[in-house]
Amino acid sequence: MESLTRVTAATIAVLRVLVDSGEPCWGLQVIKSSDRPAGSVYPILERLESLGWVRSSWETDDSRSGPRRRYYELTEGGAKAAADAVRDFGMRDARQKAPRFVTPMVVNP
Partner 1 sequence: MSGFARRVVMISAALLPANVRERYREQWLGELRDAPELGIRTSEIAFGSLAFASTFARMTPARRHPSPETVDRRARMSVALTASAAVLAFSQNASAPWSAQTGTDGITAAIGLLWTAITIYVVIAPFAAMVTVFATRGTNGWLRAAVVLLATVCALPISPYINRISMGPNELAYLTLATIALPALGVVVAMIALTVRHRSVRPNADMSSPRIAARLARALLAALVVAAIVGAGFAAASRLWDTRIPLRYGGHKPSAEFDQWFAVKTQVEHSVSVTLALWLVIGIVVAFAVALMASSRRGTLRQTITLLVVASSAVVFSFGSLLSFLQFVLTSIAPSFPLGLGTELAEIGLVIVLLVVASGKRETVSSIPGPAAGLRSNGTRAA
List residues near partner 1 by CB under 8 A.
26-29, 31-32, 37-43, 46-47, 49-50, 58, 65-70
Q: Which is nearer to partner 1, 12 or 31 (CB)?
A: 31
- Identify whether the C-beta of residue 16 lies closer than 8 Å to the C-beta of residue 34: yes
Least spacing, CB of residue 98 vs partner 1, in Å: 35
- Identify whether the C-beta of residue 18 lies closer than 8 Å to the C-beta of residue 82: yes
Report the length, in residues, of the chain. 109
- Distance between CA atoms of residues 33 and 21, nearest Å: 10
Least spacing, CB of residue 90 vs partner 1, in Å: 26
Least spacing, CB of residue 51 vs partner 1, in Å: 8
